[in-house]
Structure formats: structure tokens, C-alpha cells
Amino acid sequence: MRDTVSTMKRRQRTGKGAPGIVEVAARAQVSPATVSRFFNNPKVVRPDTRKRIQAAATEMGYIRDRMAGAMHNRFSGSIGLVVPTIDNTIFSEMIAAFSNRLLEHDRTMLVASHNYDPTLEVSIIRSLLERRIDGVALVGQDHMDTAVDMLRIRSVPVIALWGYDENPRIPFVGANNALAGYRVTRHVIDDGHTNIAFLFPDTHNNDRARDRKNGALKALTDANIVSDKSKLLTCPYDVTESKAIAKRILTSDKPSAIVCGNDVIAHGVIYAAYELGIHIPGALSVAGIGDFKGSADIVPSLTTVRLPAKRIGSIAADTLVHMSESGEHDTVKNQVIETELIVRQSTGKLA
């Protein structure tokens, strides 16, 4: 009798007819425990029982309730990814790779973006923690202590993406951004340019941009070129803005080369040059960092440094899954992704 009441209530809750593990068990003539085992560790149940359960489950359209399971399990099956922005090419390729790889591990991804606001990041992490995520990937090493502490206390596996640090507080999967900045600048210098402008994003709360910029400036000093403050411009990751800024600088300062914090910025610069009738690479060399989708196709094709976003995403997903499964949170090695200078048609020797 009481069974009926409870069942009815459940039905109402979950919709018309969503069966639970006990309904499946009843139909398969086994106990709920066995059904549970069937789903979590099939090999411990005898083949013919397996078949019966499988049949019952599909016939009834059973879908497991991982939330209920997670209460014992410690694992929710979801992994978080916290990025500055989702719709920027910089991250969207990585997000996609991360998500796809997670799917292969039978995990789901919770993503959220904080727009470079560390406080918002904290509340996002809190919100993820409320959902019992099995691990989180953050971008870079610049985070509020609160954020890192919350994760540490609950011993949730964390890794930092993109950044590179000799002595990181969070293990990372990333590339040496300073080197990337150095290399691309060095390439431009090797082509004979000395009047070089730089378009980099705000380095506040953004260690990747900071490293790249520092690397770029180091190449300058190494070559004994005095860097002029007026040639060091701040520019967000946005084509429209970079195009506007580039137009300004190209009509006033007239540098012979522009090094950009990433490819999106460089795209804007190329468009600006086009509109002003400045020939690339004849009158102006342009270089980016990142090698985004489209950088090989734009005309002229863009000289840049390849930072394999997809690989970072996949490796991050693998690592996080491994960390959560093995419980080895501290023995994780930092993973340095190699970068590569890609010389294309947007840069050339100074005439």
C-alpha cells in the first residue's frame, strides 16, 4: 500500500512514467542492488542476469539518476571549465576540444565565463562546487586566494590552462607565452624592423598576455632597441577595436611592423592596413600569436606563433579525469606544450 503512494508521488515528480532502479529490478526479477551493479560494474553480474536487466532497462526506457548515485559515489561525472570568455576564438576551440574529450570519458562539462572579473570567478567556482564537480580547469594562474582555497579544502583537482610558470601554485597545461612573444618579435627584428608597435591586451588579471608582452619587450632589449612607450598600446581581443586602434597608429606613428597579442588583434590590423591602402608586407609587417582558425586563410596569411588550443583542451580533460579517478592531485606534472613560429606572408624584410 505505502509503496503505491510513494510510487505515485515519484511519478508525479519525475513526469509521467520515468521508472527508477527499483522498477527495473522488479521487472528483471532481481534486487535493486544488482541493477545498480549492472550499471556500475557489469562484470560482477552473471551474463544471463545482465541480459535480463539490460532488456528490462531498455524496455522501460530507464535512465539512471547520477545525482542520487553521486551521494555515495563521491563522483558527479561533471567537470568544470572556467574561462574569461566563451565566444572568443582564443577559447572556443579549446572549450570544444575539452568538451569532446570529456564526452569520451563519459563526463559532462560545465562551462562558465567571468569576463576577466576575479570576483565573478569566485562565485562561479562556488556555484560549480555546489554541483559537486569532479575537477576544474581554470585559465592562467591569476586567481583570488578564495577561489584556490575553496577548491583545495575540498580537494577538488584543479589545473591551470594556457599559462606557464616556473613555480606555479596550480599545476598547468600550457605553453611558454613569454617565449612565444619573444620569438615572434625576434622574427620581426630579424627582418630588419626597428620601428615596431605592439598591440597587447590589458595585462591585469591576465598572466598569458603579461608573459607575451614581457617576452616581446625582452626581444627588443636583447636587440638593443629602445622601446618607446607610445608604441606599446593596449587593445582588447576584438577585431573592431584593434582595427580602430591600428588605423590611428598607422596614420600617426607609422611603424614598419606591428606585433599583436593574438591573432584576432592581428586580423584587425590587417583590415586597417587594407583600408588605408598600406601594403602588407611591403610597407608593413604584421604578426600575431595563437594561429587561430582563419589565420592561414586571411590575405595576406598571418605570421604567428602556433599555440595548439585543441591539444591544451584535450590534455586538460584527460589530466583532470585521471586526477579525479586516481586521487593523485599533487603528483601531477606540469605539461608544457611546445610552440612554433609560423612564418607566412604578413611579414617581410624591411625594404
Partner DNA sequence: AATAAAAATGCAAACGTTTTCATTGATCGC
Partner DNA sequence: GCGATCAATGAAAACGTTTGCATTTTTATT
Q: 133: exposed, middle or buried (C-beta count within 10 Å: 0-12, 13-18, 19+)?
A: buried
DSSP string, 313-343: HHHHHHHHHHHHHH---SSPPPEEEP-EEE-
Residues with Cβ < 8 Å from 87, sequence gap 6 or more? none
Site for DNA in 2-21 (CB under 7 A): 2, 6, 9-10, 13-14, 20-21
Preceding amide of 255 cis, omega within 30: no
| Interacting residue with DNA among 1, 71, 153, 226 (CB under 7 A) | 71
Q: How far apart are the first and last CA of the chain?
A: 92
Tell me: does residue 131 bind DNA (CB under 7 A).
no
Cβ-based nearer residue to DNA, 34 or 314: 34
Task: Tell me which of DNA, a second copy, none is bound by residue 44, counting a contact when its beta carbon lies within the kind-specific cut-off of 5 to 8 angstroms.
Answer: DNA
Q: Which of 93, 259, 121 is nearest to 190 (CA)?
A: 259
Tell me: does residue 30 bind DNA (CB under 7 A).
yes
Which amino acid is located at 181 in the chain? G
How many residues at the interface with DNA, by CB under 7 A?
Answer: 32
How far, rounded to the nearest angstrom, does the alpha carbon of residue 16 sit from its chain's CA centroid? 39
Task: At 273, list the grid cell.
Answer: 592596413
* Choices 68-76, 178-186, 218-226, 317-325 (CB under 7 A): range interacting with DNA: 68-76
Cβ-based nearer residue to DNA, 13 or 333: 13
In 3-state terms, what secondary structure has residue 197? strand
53 close to 81: Cβ distance less than 8 angstroms = no
Q: How far is the CB of 98 from a second copy (least distance, A)?
A: 9
Tell me: does residue 68 bind DNA (CB under 7 A).
yes
| Interacting residue with DNA among 49, 203, 214, 301 (CB under 7 A) | 49
Tell me: does residue 155 bind DNA (CB under 7 A).
no
Cβ-based nearer residue to DNA, 39 or 116: 39
**Contacts with a second copy, residue ranges (CB under 8 A):** 13-18, 61, 63-68, 70-71, 74, 76-78, 85-89, 92-93, 95-97, 99-100, 103, 106, 108-113, 124, 126-132, 150, 153-156, 238-240, 243, 267-268, 271, 274-275, 293-294, 296-299
80 close to 135: Cβ distance less than 8 angstroms = yes
Residues in contact with DNA by CB under 7 A are: 2, 6, 9-10, 13-14, 20-22, 25, 29-37, 39-40, 44-46, 49, 64-65, 68-69, 71-73
